[in-house]
Amino acid sequence: MMTTETRPPPPRSTANPAPVRLRDSVRRTSSIDVSWPEGIEKDRLLIGRARDLLTPASGLPPRVLAEGRFEALLAEDKTITAIRADAPAPDLSHLVGERGGGHLRMVLRETMPRLVADCDPLYLVLDDISGSALVSAFAWSQWYPDWAAKFRERMGAEEHDRLLAQRVNVCWGLREGNSGVTGTLKNVADADAGDLRNPADPEGWHQLADADGPGFRRARRIDVTHDDAAGVIRIDSAFQDSAKRRERGRVAIHEYRLRATADIRTLEILTLEPEARILPFSECPGAIGNTARLLGKRLPDIRDEVLSLLRGSEGCTHLNDALRALADVPKLVSCLREPA
């Protein structure tokens, strides 16, 4: 195992802004913005938005194919206390009382099979409630230097330490003995998040929510094109967790760029090229190597394949989330074959 002195520095360079959209492409963007309207000890507000945008080959203006939006309040223990979605989305009231986490994702798949089957963009941001609930408290560290100590005091030292112990081996970066577990690396967030939006492509992102005070954002982009001559689907995607800085701008804690190709007929994954752009610990990028296990798997099956092949310390939870989102690529690429 590497010592502190021999560990390489964690990756800390954003790929933002997003590239300009290509003609004859579909871009899915999604975001969950988290704020605390009544302060850190009160419920957090989650605003989720997602949009599928077709950029025609003809050069005509882009066309929105689908959109989804929800608002939810979550207690400090991640319990959903209120949630609603814009019409014509399904009633989400049965999610009240559920907690963000793996169980919530199972509930979503069991109770909203139509959203899953239709590859609805709303499902993507609902699925992201769990990850956003887990990571979003990081935003307070950018506003209050003593936030961690206050959080430990409010939770209780014994409970706080118990939860920290549970993190060991939950992912590649937090394997036993790694710097994320031993605490040998203190500064895990100093990377500029950049701006998702490209000034040369003002329609490239949906409208992003913003609020005063500490704020967290999970953002995704998936660009899909097809090459009939080569018989492949081409995918260029990105994933980022970031928080507002108190002074100005944003700091990122997780960011991946992911390029892939798939057989246009069988939907089997032919190439998979994850790129670690911003991660908290030196060991985190090591999880990329195991993604080769997904080569030859079919895009529609990738959610289950990721859970099976990259579980726990075999994968990175944030990279896994970026990979799981590729399950909807076949639906997106099918829109390129429809009349404009």
Q: Tell me the pairing of strands 44-55 and 25-35.
A: antiparallel
Distance between CA atoms of 174 and 284, rounded to whole angstroms? Answer: 8
CB-count burial class (<10 Å; 0-12, 13-18, 19+) for 71: middle
Lowest mean pLDDT among 50-64, 160-174, 257-271: 160-174
Contact 258, 275 (CB under 8 A): yes
Q: Tens of pLDDT along 193-232?
A: 999 999 999 999 999 998 899 999 999 999 999 999 999 9
The pLDDT, as a whole number, for residue 328 is 97
What angle is formed at CA 54 by the lines to CA 51 and CA 56, rounded to 5 degrees? 165
Helix (H, G, I), strand (E, B) or coil at 241: strand
What angle is formed at CA 126 by the lines to CA 123 and CA 130, rounded to 5 degrees? 135
The pLDDT, as a whole number, for residue 182 is 75
- Nearest Cα neighbor of 243 from 206, 274, 276, 280 is 280
Q: Tens of pLDDT along 241-289?
A: 999 999 889 999 999 999 999 999 999 999 999 999 999 988 989 999 9
Q: Is the pTM of this model over 0.85?
A: yes
Alpha helices in 45-144 (DSSP H): 102-111, 113-117, 121-127, 129-135
Distance between CA atoms of 142 and 121, rounded to whole angstroms? Answer: 30
How does residue 4 score in pLDDT terms, banded at 50, 70 and 90? very low
Which residue type sits at 132? Answer: S
Helix (H, G, I), strand (E, B) or coil at 176: coil
Q: What sign for the dihedral angle of Cα 155, 159, 164, 169?
A: negative
